Amino acid sequence: MQKVNIGTTGISVTELCHGTLILGNLQADLSPEEGAHILGAQGNVWTEYMPTFQQVEYMAFPRASALAEVVWSSPDTRDFQDFMKRLKVFMKRLRKLNVNFRDPFKEENQQ
- DSSP annotation string for the chain: ------TTT---HHHHHHHHHHHTTGGGGS-HHHHTT----------TT--SHHHHHHHHTTHHHHHHHHHHS-GGG--HHHHHHHHHHHHHHHHHTT-----HHHHHHH-
Is the pLDDT score of 66 beyond 70? yes
Question: What is the mean predicted confidence (pLDDT) over 59-79?
Answer: 86
Is the pLDDT score of 67 beyond 50? yes
Question: Regarding predicted confidence, which is higher, 39 or 69?
Answer: 69
Surface-to-core class of residue 38, CB atoms within 10 Å of its CB (0-12 exposed, 13-18 middle, 19+ buried): exposed
Residue 42's pLDDT is what?
A: 81
Is the pLDDT score of 104 beyond 80? yes
- Check if the beta carbon of residue 2 is closer than 8 Å to that of residue 14: yes
Residue 3's pLDDT is what?
A: 42
- Check if the beta carbon of residue 66 is closer than 8 Å to that of residue 17: yes
Interval 10-64: pLDDT, tens: 444 455 555 555 555 666 677 888 878 777 778 888 888 889 999 999 999 988 9
Is the pLDDT score of 4 beyond 90? no
Residue 1's pLDDT is what?
A: 40
